[in-house]
Structure 1
Amino acid sequence: MSPRIPLTFSALAAVLMLASCAAPDPTPPPSSSPSTSAEPTTAATTAPVDVKTPTPGAEPTCKTIITPGTVEALTSQGWTSKQEELRIGETLVEDGLLCMWADFSTASDHGQMYGWGTLDARTADVAQSNLKRDGWLRSTDGDLVYFTEDPAYAIATDEDGFGMTYEFGDGWVKFADTKQGLLLIEWKG
């Protein structure tokens, strides 16, 4: 896997704040309006990943939603995680978490984000509708639905040009700061 592009937390916070606005502004910022009204429907190019089955009664945490190798790589460079609530725009994922990984002991602008949560079909429909309204680009791969920020406005992208991406499955959602980062999230409830 290619090296990850670090994100600045201030820029990341700005993008997340824009994504969580309750109503679209009549003059939306670049990250919330697409340059065209057409919606790409290209299929995702990543292969499915085997997902570990959680222990009954186990709760997802920042150290369990991603692969053990990723946790080891992040912690070996002195990074720790901070957990926050997971939001999809203005939609709160009640049983979700967003994990921000970085070296919080020093003044650093590098980090990575991973999120996971359960959601019902109605909440998933509302969240996806709002992402589409806000200019996120939709694609599918089998039963999975992806919403990726417009790469023209992305802070960082993976080697395929995808920035922050949500992946919707049957009763769950994943989030990462790049589409390739979704491959590192293993948890399924």
Structure 2
Amino acid sequence: MSGPRERAPLVAVGGILIASLLTACSGPTPETVPSVAESAAGPTIAAPETTATPASETPDPTCENIIPQATADDFTSIGWVTQQEPFRIGAIALEEGIQCKWGDQKIASDRVQIFGWAPIDEATAATAQKELVASGWKVEVDDDGTYVTENPEWLGGRGVDGYGLTYLFGDGFVKLADTRQSLILVDAPRG
């Protein structure tokens, strides 16, 4: 059984993520910039403005520049650190991408947040999607792109609305988050 001190960071992170998703779902106005405002439930994070950056000007992705700076700062403020890994989709490695696992490295826990971003060409995206589907992942297509998510039967209670690890394949990029809802926090690297 965990004590109050062990639960506090998890409660804070839960508040951060819920507030982030609720704020992001309402959509920022053109004048909105990422911000953090304290509330009874914890910090509220505004979704980042999304602006297209020409591929030649896109900086290298880092764990801090593919999510809102306020979110990275909040994770750091509760003692979370990031573990950086190459962006992989099954056997396919995307060398110009990054996959980040944020969490408390001082304790053994599966309470982490995963975010990833990589540039991808159409042929590689098609191959990756085919491999995931062959492994039992589910596909949904909408105006944002093609979502490929873990089979809901594998989740064991994780993920809101039955979505666990999810890739979003868009025009020239692929994003990854530990839930479909968290994909809203991932964007092309900002300078």
TM-score by length of 1: 0.69
Give the drift of 1:58: 2.0
CA deviation string 1:57-114 (max 9, x = no partner): 5211000001122112211110011110111111111211110101113344421110
Q: In the alignment, what sits opposite 1:145?
A: 146
Is the 8 Å Cα contact of residues 117 and 187 (structure 2) preserved in structure 1? no
In structure 2, relative to structure 1, the CA distance for the partners of 1:47 and 1:88 (3 Å cut) is farther
Q: In the alignment, what sits opposite 2:187?
A: 186
Amino acid at match of 2:50: V
Amino acid at match of 1:159: V
Amino acid at match of 1:151: P
The answer for unaligned runs of 5 or more in structure 2 is: 1-13, 19-24, 28-46
Distance in 2, matches of 1:187 and 1:157, equals 26
Larger radius of gyration: 2
The answer for unaligned runs of 5 or more in structure 1 is: 6-45
Q: In the alignment, what sits opposite 1:104?
A: 105
The answer to which structure, 1 or 2, has the higher relative contact order (CA under 8 A, 6+ apart) is 1
Q: In the alignment, what sits opposite 1:51?
A: 50
Q: Does 1:133 align with 2:134?
A: yes
> How many aligned residue pairs are there?
149
Distance in 1, matches of 2:172 and 2:94, equals 11
Q: In the alignment, what sits opposite 1:161?
A: 162
Q: In the alignment, what sits opposite 2:86?
A: 85
Q: In the alignment, what sits opposite 1:24?
A: none
RMSD value, Cα: 2.7
Distance in 1, matches of 2:163 and 2:139, equals 12
1:146 is paired with a residue whose SS is strand
Give the drift of 1:158: 3.0
Greater per-residue helix proportion: 2
Distance in 2, matches of 1:78 and 1:156, equals 26
